Amino acid sequence: EVVKGVNGLDKVVLRQVNGTSAEVYLYGAHVTSWKNEQGEELLFLSSKAIFKPPKPIRGGIPICFPQFSNLGSLDQHGFARNRFWTFDDDPPPLPPDANHKVITDLILRSTKEDLKIWPYSFEYRLRITLGPGGELMLTSRIRNTGTDGKPFTFSFAYHTYFSVSDISEVRVEGLETLDYLDNCQKRERFTEQGDSITFESEVDRIYLSTPTKIAVMDHEKKRTLVMRKDGLPDAVVWNPWDKKAKAMVDFGDDEYKHMLCVEAAAVEKPITLKPGEEWRGRQELSTVNKLLDP
Ligand code: BG6
């Protein structure tokens, strides 16, 4: 069901019988809310977020496609996050979706205007699924629908903004000993040394070829946010910290204390699709109300 959200923009609300819910705007196919059984918000959405196209929404889960960051000729993070997607009211029963799941499919196809900045036809189906336990799954299916025989190449991220109680009390598990490209240091390559990642200043890193499971432990809440991913080898970790926060008009000066981006991504090795080929990339989020053992 499509209802009106902020500034009259259309959104879809997904609800499970156990009280969990999620909201997704058709603008950007942008998930802006994901709540647990207690009704607590698990995603960060800035109080300064601007719901005015073409500005992307600050927080939730922006889709970065067909370009992550400024690693190409397109604007930062590509254009999917500031296009109006269409709602598919009769989605196909695609595996591995089964019963007891609440599903919404949104579709984006390249327009004539898009073809001027990125000359490739595609069909992008994003399936947003709320599982019986309140787990939030995003499945992207991107197909090259070109008829001219040309392949296309893209990079991608689910730019997930988690809500955390206090960034200085947060640890990320699952990225230790991995190589990463540090965006704060000209994308130089480093190797993670610590047992887990903690935060005391700006972090903007692309961890390469990570395990499929990453855990964000919120010590104050005694809660673990678990990310599982498939088809997305990399993981971006970002917190702007105080200086960058002040420079962003759509982000409160102190909000960096209460958010952390962990993004399932394909950045180091971009994906190439020949005409007729389809790529699938999945991110699943769930929570555990305790601090999981590392
Ligand atoms: C992160 C990038 O994923 O997104 C950062 O690694 C960037 O470099 C951040 O600053 C936010 O980007 P934007 O375009 O939404 O302000």
Q: Which domain holds residue 245?
A: 2-288
76 is in an annotated binding site: yes
Closest atom of ligand 1 relative to the 183 alpha carbon:
8
DSSP 239-286: E-HHHHHHH-TTS-TTGGGGEEEEEEEEEEEEEEE-TT-EEEEEEEEE
Indicate the DSSP class of residue 183.
G
**What is the spatial distance between Cα 204 and Cα 280, in angstroms, rounded to a whole number?**
26
CA of 195 to the centre of ligand 1 (A): 25
Tell how strand 30-35 and strand 21-25 pair up.
antiparallel
Yes or no: say if 51 and 59 are a contact pair by the CB < 8 Å rule.
no
Is 90 exceeded by the pLDDT of residue 294? no
CA of 288 to the centre of ligand 1 (A): 27
Closest atom of ligand 1 relative to the 62 alpha carbon:
15
Share of the chain above pLDDT 90, in %: 92
Question: Which of 97, 98, 105, 107 is closest to 142 using CA atoms?
Answer: 107
Per-residue pLDDT tens over the stretch 10-35: 999 999 999 999 999 999 999 999 99
The pLDDT score that the predictor gives to residue 97 is 56
Average pLDDT, the chain: 96
168 falls within a domain: yes
Quote ipTM for the complex. 0.98
Per-residue pLDDT tens over the stretch 155-207: 999 999 999 999 999 999 999 999 999 999 999 999 999 889 999 999 999 99
H or E, element range at 113:
helix 112-117
Backbone angles phi, psi at 127, to 5 degrees: -100, 125
CATH of the domain at 276: 2.70.98.10
**What is the spatial distance between Cα 64 and Cα 57, in angstroms, rounded to a whole number?**
12
293 falls within a domain: no
268 falls within a domain: yes
Q: How many domains does the chain have?
A: 1
Share of the chain above pLDDT 70, in %: 98
Residue of 89 and 41 predicted with greater confidence = 41
**What is the spatial distance between Cα 184 and Cα 186, in angstroms, rounded to a whole number?**
6
CA of 39 to the centre of ligand 1 (A): 28
14 falls within a domain: yes
The pLDDT score that the predictor gives to residue 99 is 65
Active site (annotated) includes residue 159: yes
Indicate the DSSP class of residue 250.
T
294 falls within a domain: no
Pocket around ligand 1 at a 6 A CB cut-off: 56, 69, 76-77, 159, 183, 204, 236, 238, 261, 263
Yes or no: say if 283 and 228 are a contact pair by the CB < 8 Å rule.
yes
Closest atom of ligand 1 relative to the 204 alpha carbon:
6
The pLDDT score that the predictor gives to residue 96 is 59
255 falls within a domain: yes
118 falls within a domain: yes
**What is the spatial distance between Cα 138 and Cα 229, in angstroms, rounded to a whole number?**
10
